[in-house]
A and B are shown apart, each in its own frame.
Chain A
Amino acid sequence: MSALPRAHDLGIIGCHVCRQVSLETKKAHARCPRCGAPLHRRKRDSLTRTWALLIAALLLYLPANIFPIMRTQSLFSKDDNTILSGVIELWRAGSPDLAIIVFTASIVVPVLKFLVMGFLLISVQRSSQWGARQRARLFRLVEVIGYWSMLDVFVVALLSALVHFQVLSRVEPLPGVIFFGMVVVLTMLSAMSFDPRLIWDNRESDD
């Protein structure tokens, strides 16, 4: 056990919206005395919500990667790109640096989010004692990098608006990009539903 006091043990609660510290009450719908936002000792149904959103994201992740996200059409050719083939094309076009950036944002980040969130959920559920500090750091990493996956969605939106040269050359969005956008939103919601304080709760001697 560490010597540092935790809010719940002191009977106080910190507001996550304005950081005001107030006394914990027994009321079911306690509100912060300063800003009026609802106070929770821990986020409500954190594990269930995080799991549900994560699984939903995982299901949509399959069509997001299998279906093409963008069609490039010219007079004589039609070229459908998935997320992965878009990265490869960028690499071949002579921009390996950008290809690596896109690969990181569109493939590494989502996969990392699934793995990390799954790992955090399982370790909390099993009251794991292992490396709380490392797990806390993993969670913060997921929070920071999460929204960069929107990169490909914005690229498709921009190219579809720009490349509009009648029949000569056209870029159109394909359904994959819709699934991918939803995956990003769902994984972000999933990470927001997770309460990192749970990582530390289970380490304490029984309540």
Chain B
Amino acid sequence: MESGQDLIVCEHCDTVYRREPLTRGQVSTCLECGAVLERHQWIGLDGQFALILAAFIVFVIANCTPIVSLGFSGMQSATTLWGAVIAMWNDSSQVVAVLTAMTLFFFPLTQILIFGWVLWFARDGIRAPGFAPAMIALYYVKPWSMIEVFMLGVLVAVVKASSYFEVVPGPGVWAFAVLTILITIFASHDSRELWNVTRDTSE
């Protein structure tokens, strides 16, 4: 039998293909169901690590600085992401508080930290300690990270508030915008490719 790395199975319909090397910008799709099989990985490992490092810094800024502040007859009110989580918790919407904290803080942070960890080692072609569980965790966390949706939510909230209040965007909103862009660039990469560009050194 051929080695497993030469073959690729479409996740959506189970059709088997032999892998072809892709050139820049190329995407291979399944002939049967049309799903994407593989994308060309256009950013190298160093570049990906740099992106994650940038994302981490921006993530810290996004969480520590106010997103927007409102002015209303001389009073000021500003909130961070955690301010929103705490407000929901105190207003008897604990389910929403937990959901918000998970999808906008814990899951994105988990993704950034795990990616940073595995990419740091992958740059030398090595699988980081705990590589397998880390990659499994990434796979399951991925759909639950919702920074992009939050970004749009900020926009809607600002527009809704602006008919009654004076709205001043804070540094947090720019940080979230940059984070959205970084995540979008990064999401065009299939992290599972890391399995093929690293080797197991534990044996």
Chain A residues packing against B (C-beta within 8 Å): 2, 4-8, 10, 12-14, 16-23, 34-37, 89-90, 93-95, 98, 101-102, 105, 132-133, 136-137, 139-140, 146-148, 150-165, 168-169, 172-173, 175, 177-178, 181-182, 185, 188, 192, 196-197, 199-201
| Beta-carbon contact of B99 and A12 below 8 Å | no
- Using A132-B33, A164-B77 as known contacts, say yes or no to A159 and B160 having CB atoms under 8 A apart: yes
| Beta-carbon contact of B87 and A20 below 8 Å | no
Other A-B pairs beyond A154-B157, A162-B79, 11, CB < 8 Å:
A20-B195, A21-B9, A35-B195, A133-B32, A137-B33, A157-B87, A158-B68, A163-B165, A164-B77, A181-B99, A182-B95
Q: Which of B167-194 contact A (CB under 8 A)?
A: 192
- Residues of A close to B95: CB separation below 8 A: 178, 181-182
| Beta-carbon contact of A155 and B146 below 8 Å | no
- Using A157-B96, A163-B165, A178-B96 as known contacts, say yes or no to A36 and B132 having CB atoms under 8 A apart: yes
| Beta-carbon contact of B96 and A173 below 8 Å | yes
Judged by DSSP, the binding face of A is helix
B54 on interface, CB distance cutoff 8 Å: no
Contact of A147 among B16, B87, B146 (CB under 8 A): B146
Contact of B164 among A6, A158, A169 (CB under 8 A): A169
| Beta-carbon contact of B85 and A200 below 8 Å | no
- Residues of A close to B20: CB separation below 8 A: none
Query: Smallest CB-CB separation from B90: which chain A residue?
Result: A160
Q: How far is the CA of A51 from the CA of B86 in the complex (A)?
A: 34
B106 to chain A, nearest CB (A): 15
- Residues of B close to A133: CB separation below 8 A: 32-34
Q: How far is the CA of A19 from the CA of B88 in the complex (A)?
A: 40
B139 to chain A, nearest CB (A): 5
| Beta-carbon contact of B9 and A18 below 8 Å | no
Q: Mark B131-165, 1 if CB is under 8 A from A, else 0.
A: 01101100100011010011011111101110111
Q: How far is the CA of A128 from the CA of B168 in the complex (A)?
A: 55
- Residues of B close to A192: CB separation below 8 A: 143
| Beta-carbon contact of A161 and B86 below 8 Å | yes
B114 to chain A, nearest CB (A): 14
| Beta-carbon contact of B11 and A14 below 8 Å | yes
Q: Which of B1-56 contact A (CB under 8 A)?
A: 1, 4-5, 7-9, 11-17, 31-35
B83 on interface, CB distance cutoff 8 Å: yes
List 9 tightest A-B contacts by C-beta distance, closest first.
A14-B9, A154-B153, A161-B87, A161-B79, A21-B4, A136-B33, A161-B84, A158-B157, A157-B84
A sample of 11 inter-chain contacts (CB < 8 A) reads: A17-B135, A21-B9, A139-B12, A154-B150, A157-B84, A161-B86, A162-B68, A168-B75, A173-B88, A181-B99, A196-B33
